[in-house]
Amino acid sequence: MTGLPESEVDVLIIGAGPAGLMLALWLSRLGVKTRIVDKRTSKVYSGQADGFQVRSLEILDSFGIAERVWKEANRMLEVAFWNPDQDGNIVRSAHAANTIPGLSRFTESVLHQGRIEQFFLDAIRDSYTSASAALRVERMVIPTSLEIDESKAEDPDAHPVTVTLRHLTEEEATPTQMLSNLNDGIFRSNLADDDVGDILDRSKGREARDEVVRAKYVVGCDGAHSWTRKTLGEEFEMKGETTDAIWGVMDIVPITDFPDIRFRTMIHSTSGALMIIPRENRIVRLYIQLKEVSAGGGRVDRSQITPDFIFKSAQKIFSPYKLEYHYCDWWTAYQIGQRTGDHFSKLNRVFLAGDAVHTHSPKAGQGMNISMQDSYNLGWKIGLACKNILPRHVLSTYELERKKIAKDLIAFDGKFSKLFTGRPAKDIQNETGVSDDEFQKAFHTSRMFTTGVGVNYQPTVFVAKESEETDNDNGLKKSIAKSTPSLATNCKLGQRFPSYKVIRQSDARLWELHHKLPSNGRFRLVVFGGDISRPSQRDSVNALGAWLSSYLPKLPTINLSPGSDPHSGSMKFKTDADPSIVEVLLVHTAPRDEVDMLRDLHETYHPFDSKLGWDYDKIFADGETMYEEPQKAYEKYGVDPGKGAVVGLRPDGYVGLVTSLDHGGQEEIQNWFDGIFQNE
C-alpha cells in the first residue's frame, strides 16, 4: 500500500494532442468512464500541425466537428509545381488538382492545431447531459509509473493496469526552454530534447501530490518522446532512418508578387526546395529546405537556426520574386527522419497511438491525420470492449490495421522527402537530379494514400473478405461470412464506405449518406433495396426486414449519448428505447410517390416507439428531387438496382460485408455478426 489516493477508471489516456483528444471524444460518445491527462499547461495556440486530409474530415464529420474546420480552414484545391528554367529562374510548370476530384465531399484543408483541439474539447463536452459531468483534460499531470498485472490481463472485468500520476505546479510543468526564451520556435520540434526528465527532476520531493489509478486500458498518445512507449520496454523502441536534412517552417503573412502564393506550391529551385501551404486568415506556411545547416551525422547546432536565417533561405528560393513579411505567427525547424515501432500494444491493455509509434517529416500533412486515425480505429474497439459488447480478442485488430498504415506512411515519407529535396534535373550545375515529371508523377500516385481514403484493412472478424496476395496471414481470427463484392463494386471490403447523396423518403430532403452514419458505436446494415415498387423486390426487402426483426434482438444493445446524432439537431424527442448495436438503413430506387413507407415496408425500416411514433429517418431513395440534378447514388455505389445488395459497416464506417438481399444474404449477415460479437 502506498498511502496515495487510489481510484478506478475504464480508460486512461496519456496526452491530449489530436490523437488523445480523438480517443477521448470517441469514449465520451460511447459513455465510457475515461480520464485524459497532459503534461502541458494549455492547448496549442498557433502553428504545429495544420493539414486536414479528406478522410480525417470525413471522420471529424462523423462526430459533427468537420463543419467547423471546413468553415474556418483554408481549402487547398490546386497544387502548383515550379521549377528552374534554363537560366535557373523558377517558372510554373503545372497546376493540378490537389485532391482527386470526386473522391470525397471534402478537399485537403489547413487550419492550425489549436482550433481542432478546441473543437474536440467542445464536442467532448456536448457528449454529456451537463457540462459539469463532462470529461475534461487534466493538465499539468504526468505519469511516473505503469504496471500491468498480467495474471488479470484477459479478465474482461479487471482493472489490471496501475499508473501513478503526479500533479504538477504550473512552474514544474512549464518547460525550462520556454521559461528561458518564449520566442524559441524549436520548442515542440523534433530538434528539442524531451523534457519529461526535467519535469520529474523539478517535481522531486512532491510525491505527496501523486495518485494511483487502476485502469482497464491505458493509451499512450504522448508524442514522439512518448513516456508510455519508453516505460513499456526496449522492444517498443521505434526504429528507422534519421537524415541530416534540416527544414525550417514559418507561418507568415507574406508580402510578395509571387502569383501562386495562395496555392499549395512546390518549388524546386537551384537554391533548394520550398513548399507553400496557404492557410486561414491570410497566413501562409512556408516549408524551407535549409541547405546551409546539416545535422552532419550528429546533433544540429540549434543556435544557427533563427527566423532570420530561415527567411533568408526562403527569399533565395523565391528569387526573382520578392518576398517580405511584417507578421510572423509561428516558426520552427525540424530534422527529416522516419521511425516506427513493431509493437502498438502490450497485452492489449496498454496501447500506443500517433507520434508515439510513428514519426516522419511534416510536409505531406500526414502526421496529425494518421495520429487521429490511429485512435479513431482504436476508440470504438476499446469502448465496446469496456461495455462488454465486443470480446477482448478483437483488440488485436488495432495493431494489425494501424501498423501497416504506419509502415506505408514512413515508406511514403522517405520516398517523398528524397524526391522533394533532390537536386532539380535542370539545375544549372548539372543535368542529373529529380525531373519535374518524375516528381509530379510521384505526387499524383501518392494522392490516394495521402488523402487517407486509400486505407484498406486486412481480413479479420470485422472484414469478411478473401486475403489479397500481399496480405500475410496475420494470425487473427477471420470472419466465416463470405462476401459477394460484385454486388456493390464501389463499396470495397476493408475500405471506408463512401458518401453520396440520397433523398429521405419522408420529406424529400437530400442527405449525404455519411450524415446518417455518425460515430456512435453502432454497426450498420445499409440495405440497397432496388426498385421496391416492383412486388418481387419489395418482398425480398420485407423478408429481410422480417428476418432482421427476429435476429437483431439477439445482439447487444447500446445506449446513445448526447451528441450521437450530430447532423439531426438535438436529442430532444429522440427515441428512449435501447437501440440494437446494429442500425438498419434502406436505400431504394422506386419513385418516391409510389412508396407509402408505413404501409408498404416492414417495421424494421421504420421502428415504432409508443411515445414518439414511427421513425422517419431510416428510408432513403435514389431518384429525382424538385431542386437538384439526380445524384445517381446506386451508380456511384456500384449497385445494380435490379439486384440490390446489403453492405455491412463497422462503427468506424469501414466496409466489412457485402452480400445479397435474399436468404443467402441473411446467413452471411448472421455469420458476420456472430463472428464479431461471440467470444472465441
What is the distance between the alpha carbons of residues 243 and 615, in angstroms, rounded to a whole number?
58
Which of the ranges 93-101, 234-242, 404-412, 582-590 carries the binding residues for a second copy, by CB under 8 A?
93-101
Compare residues 179 and 626 and give the one whose CB is closer to a second copy.
626
One of 201, 237, 241, 257 touching a second copy (CB under 8 A): 257
131 scored as a contact of a second copy (CB under 8 A): no
CB atoms inside a 10 Å sphere around CB 629:
7
Compare residues 142 and 453 and give the one whose CB is closer to a second copy.
453
Enter the C-alpha cell of residue 131.
457540462
To the nearest whole angstrom, how small is the minimum distance from the Cβ of residue 267 to a second copy?
Answer: 17
78 scored as a contact of a second copy (CB under 8 A): yes
627 is catalytic: no
Compare residues 177 and 256 and give the one whose CB is closer to a second copy.
256
One of 101, 205, 297, 553 touching a second copy (CB under 8 A): 101
391 is catalytic: no
What is the distance between the alpha carbons of residues 34 and 57, in angstroms, rounded to a whole number?
24
What is the distance between the alpha carbons of residues 248 and 65, in angstroms, rounded to a whole number?
31
H-type alpha helices, 580-632: 597-600
Enter the C-alpha cell of residue 594.
409510389
Cell 517529416 belongs to: 361
Measured in whole angstroms, the distance separating CA 622 from the mean position of its chain's CA atoms is: 29
Alpha-carbon distances of 518 from 29, 115, 522, 652, rounded to whole Å? 10, 22, 9, 9
CB atoms inside a 10 Å sphere around CB 149:
15
Catalytic-labelled residue, pool 29, 35, 115, 279: 279
To the nearest whole angstrom, how small is the minimum distance from the Cβ of residue 322 to a second copy?
Answer: 10
Enter the C-alpha cell of residue 283.
497566413
3-state secondary structure (DSSP) of residue 158: coil
Compare residues 296 and 613 and give the one whose CB is closer to a second copy.
613
Which of the ranges 9-17, 257-265, 360-368, 637-645 carries the binding residues for a second copy, by CB under 8 A?
257-265
Which of the ranges 158-166, 386-394, 409-417, 591-599 carries the binding residues for a second copy, by CB under 8 A?
591-599
To the nearest whole angstrom, how small is the minimum distance from the Cβ of residue 72 to a second copy?
Answer: 5
Site for a second copy in 457-486 (CB under 8 A): none
Beta bridge partners of 469: none
275 scored as a contact of a second copy (CB under 8 A): no
Compare residues 96 and 200 and give the one whose CB is closer to a second copy.
96
Site for a second copy in 639-658 (CB under 8 A): none
Catalytic-labelled residue, pool 143, 307, 362, 518: 362
Is the distance from CB of 657 to CB of 459 less than 8 angstroms?
Answer: no
Compare residues 314 and 395 and give the one whose CB is closer to a second copy.
314
Compare residues 283 and 357 and give the one whose CB is closer to a second copy.
283
Beta bridge partners of 523: 582
Q: Binding mask 35-74 vs a second copy (x if CB under 8 A, - otherwise)?
A: --------------------------------x---xx-x
What is the distance between the alpha carbons of residues 498 and 104, in angstroms, rounded to a whole number?
7
H-type alpha helices, 481-620: 535-551, 597-600
Looking at residue 293, its amino acid is: V
515 scored as a contact of a second copy (CB under 8 A): no
To the nearest whole angstrom, how small is the minimum distance from the Cβ of residue 45 to a second copy?
Answer: 12
To the nearest whole angstrom, how small is the minimum distance from the Cβ of residue 449 to a second copy?
Answer: 20
Phi then psi dihedrals of residue 438, to 5 deg: -60, -45
- Count of residues binding a second copy (CB under 8 A)? 55
Is the distance from CB of 372 to CB of 56 less than 8 angstroms?
Answer: yes
77 scored as a contact of a second copy (CB under 8 A): yes
Is the distance from CB of 270 to CB of 301 less than 8 angstroms?
Answer: no
What is the distance between the alpha carbons of residues 328 and 283, in angstroms, rounded to a whole number?
9
What is the distance between the alpha carbons of residues 313 and 44, in angstroms, rounded to a whole number?
27
Is the distance from CB of 532 to CB of 590 less than 8 angstroms?
Answer: yes
Cell 488523402 belongs to: 451
- Supply the DSSP symbol for 510: E
One of 17, 20, 31, 278 touching a second copy (CB under 8 A): 278
What is the distance between the alpha carbons of residues 343 and 144, in angstroms, rounded to a whole number?
21
Q: Which of 452, 483, 446 is nearest to 647 (CA)?
A: 483
Is the distance from CB of 219 to CB of 357 less than 8 angstroms?
Answer: no
437 scored as a contact of a second copy (CB under 8 A): no
Compare residues 204 and 611 and give the one whose CB is closer to a second copy.
611
One of 34, 56, 107, 479 touching a second copy (CB under 8 A): 107
Compare residues 255 and 480 and give the one whose CB is closer to a second copy.
255
362 is catalytic: yes
Which of the ranges 148-156, 164-172, 197-205, 259-267 carries the binding residues for a second copy, by CB under 8 A?
259-267
What is the distance between the alpha carbons of residues 460 and 655, in angstroms, rounded to a whole number?
12
One of 217, 263, 318, 547 touching a second copy (CB under 8 A): 263
Q: Binding mask 538-567 vs a second copy (x if CB under 8 A, - otherwise)?
A: -----------------------------x
Is the distance from CB of 141 to CB of 37 less than 8 angstroms?
Answer: yes
253 scored as a contact of a second copy (CB under 8 A): yes
Side-chain half-sphere CA neighbours of 189 within 13 A: 23
Is the distance from CB of 110 to CB of 76 less than 8 angstroms?
Answer: yes
- Enumerate residues 6+ apart whose C-beta is below 8 A from 650: 380, 462, 463, 523, 656
Cell 468537420 belongs to: 66
Which of the ranges 17-25, 175-183, 506-514, 665-673 carries the binding residues for a second copy, by CB under 8 A?
506-514
Which of the ranges 126-134, 176-184, 571-579, 664-672 carries the binding residues for a second copy, by CB under 8 A?
571-579
Compare residues 181 and 281 and give the one whose CB is closer to a second copy.
281
Site for a second copy in 318-337 (CB under 8 A): 326-327
674 is catalytic: no
One of 41, 411, 598, 635 touching a second copy (CB under 8 A): 598
What is the distance between the alpha carbons of residues 461 and 316, in angstroms, rounded to a whole number?
55
One of 593, 678, 679, 680 touching a second copy (CB under 8 A): 593
Largest CA distance in the chain: 80
Compare residues 428 and 608 and give the one whose CB is closer to a second copy.
608
Site for a second copy in 602-631 (CB under 8 A): 610-614, 616, 625-627
State the catalytic residues.
50, 279, 287, 362
Binding residues for a second copy (CB under 8 A): 67, 71-72, 74-78, 95-97, 99, 101-102, 107, 253-257, 259, 261-263, 278, 280-283, 326-327, 506-509, 567, 569-570, 572-574, 593, 596-599, 610-614, 616, 625-627
